[in-house]
Chain A
Amino acid sequence: MKAKHTKYLPLLPVSCAYFILFLIGKNVAGMWQLMAMLAFYCALGQAFNIFIGMTGYVDFGYVAFLGVGTYGMALSVSRLAGFPNLGLGVVVIGLILSFVMAGALSVAVGAVALRLRGAYFAIATVGVNEGFRYLIEGARIWGGAEGIIFSGQLTETLGRDTASSLSTFWADVMVMIVAVIAAVITVGYMRGRVGYALTALREDEDAAKVMGINVTKYKIIAFITSASLAGLLGACAWALKVMYVFPPEAFQIQYTIEAIIIVVLGGAGTLLGPVVGGLIYGLSKYWLAVVMPGFQLLIFAPIVIFIVVAFPEGVVGWVKRRAKGTAIQSYLL
């Protein structure tokens, strides 16, 4: 019988991980970039995992939500720059806008796609990121194919020093905060009704329905949560750091690929999986960039295939299995 206070114990290792990344980055010279990148990959994995890990459905167009989030921040800064006395408010509004826009897109896509079963859903999502990109370029909205550059407006609104520290430090801290939020939500879902419903529908959708579970409702909950968090990540990790958004870059399938690798590697459906996966992938990419740049996908593609076939539970899933009945079991989720 799990007492209340042990329910949230698994958050401890996760939060420690992010805290350690922060400490190393802050105190060791030259390490901030790497720590920030690792935190980004972990956060991306956590947000993606809320959907793919818990429902067993894969959204191949996931990066669309990051892209939309980037636009949210870009639009807020560039359009609101003229308003006096807003200051950091433009960033706050940008965050809210990213969150809401990504959520809205997920409702639009989900309304159609989530009624479909597994494979059909995957097919429906394949073009979402491209589709949205071509909508922006085709209808010439939000700057069309040229995108939005808002570094000027940001400096103007916040002053050079604030803008600079925002894009080189605070944006990354925000990414870490989003990661922790994603972890808290994951635990809340996994230990609550939502988690039970999602596990049931992932294992056997028809049996779940007969047990009284409204599968579409729970799929939508997971989908919107995962998408909105991605929106925040797009705003913090992309928009605020580079201060421009460019459609071909913002909707690149590359990031969906990386999210998939991270979650599969670490263990889909676990809390720690995306963190472990993010760390392994991020570090590998960083080291390979020195030795053999651009090779990481070539190496990870067969690894993903191997894991899917032989170790579908991923690293953390495997460790959880071994840790059954031991003291550390309650820290692993």
Chain B
Amino acid sequence: MIGQQLAGNLVNGFVLGGVYGMATMGLSLIFGVLKIVNVGHGAFIMVGAFITLWMFSSLGMSPVFALPVALITGMALGFLIFSTVLRRLIKAPELASLLATFAIGMLLEEIAKNLFGTEFRGYNWETGKLVLPMTVLPMSKIYAFAGSVAITVLMYFWFKKTRAGTAVRSVVEDSDGAQVCGVNVSWVYALSFAIGIGLTVLSGVLLTMFIPVGINPYMGGSYTLKAFVVAVLGGLASPYGAFFAGLAFGLIENGSYTVFAALPGVEPFALTRFISFVMLLVILLIKPTGLLGAK
């Protein structure tokens, strides 16, 4: 009985993990290129979630249409934030960019709170189910997973094959060297930040496809922590390492939940959240550059 439950949860975890991984790509990209940790990461996921919600509830459009809207909104937001704030902090001490990204995330949350209030919202997107031997997966979750994989693959090719992607990779490797080779580093910074935010907002759409409830201005907080765990696990500067790390994290999260649920005297949900945090510390202790990362 527990075996089947475990298997079912693991499948769910795997699928969710793919989405987690995709949600962390933006974070890893921004750190890899700009060496800035976007502490407000979760707030941008929240933005994507609200875009999806609004388009579904007010415009009656399926979340699939929210994808491009989210990406474009995210990139525009990223360009705006970079050119007004972060551009000036590239040379500043680390503390400055940590505080600035934190405050930016906070600002987004407060704006959302004043626009939408603090209640938890959700939506219901019925698109059928996939029946597997160990569990039943709504098609929306499948789409979310497929979307995550597709975007990860697209980003992979973009990095490897396009001129812009190669320029970005060169800056990650060695920004001075890249500049000497004629790469416009400040433009790369702006583009990378914009894409990073765009991907993060996009992932908000995919996450709500997976979990269409609990949407509220402060939902980002828990995702920020998870994203950090995934990012550190996969190598903080490695965007595709993040994808595989996400899968691993999804499996561990759901697996431990099943185990805890079977134990008497503990709260499985809370304890699972605690485990994520412990994972983070353990990985940072052993290998801060990531267990799976290339660097």
Contact = CB atoms under 8 A, between A and B. Distances in A.
A134 interface: yes
Contacts of B273: 130-131, 134, 138
B221 A139 contact: no
A140 B266 CA distance: 6
Contacts of A135: 270-271, 274
Nearest to A57: B95
Contact of A298 (B92, B114, B232): B114
Contacts of B232: 123
A139 B93 contact: no
Tell me whether chain A's interface is mostly helix, strand or loop, or mixed.
helix
Contacts of A139: 266-267, 271, 274
Contacts of A295: 114
A126 B39 contact: yes
Nearest to A53: B95
Contacts of B31: 119
B104 interface: yes
A56 B222 CA distance: 25
Interface residues of B, number: 50
21 contacts: A112-B284, A113-B281, A119-B94, A122-B98, A123-B37, A123-B232, A123-B280, A126-B225, A130-B277, A138-B271, A138-B273, A138-B274, A139-B266, A139-B271, A140-B265, A268-B95, A295-B114, A297-B110, A305-B85, A305-B100, A308-B99
A260 B232 CA distance: 25
Interface in B70-102: 85, 88-89, 92-96, 98-100, 102
Contacts of A312: 92, 96
Interface of B: 31, 35, 37, 39, 85, 88-89, 92-96, 98-100, 102-104, 106-107, 110-111, 113-114, 221-222, 224-225, 228, 232, 236, 260, 265-274, 276-278, 280-281, 284-285, 288
A309 B88 contact: yes
A297 B107 CA distance: 8
Nearest to B277: A131
Interface string A131-145: 100110111100011
Interface string A284-323: 0000000000110110011011001100100000000000
A257 B39 CA distance: 12
B277 A128 contact: yes
B37 A138 contact: no
A302 B107 contact: yes
A127 interface: yes
Closest 9 CB pairs between A and B?
A138-B271, A131-B277, A138-B270, A301-B107, A137-B270, A298-B110, A118-B94, A127-B277, A134-B274
A116 interface: yes
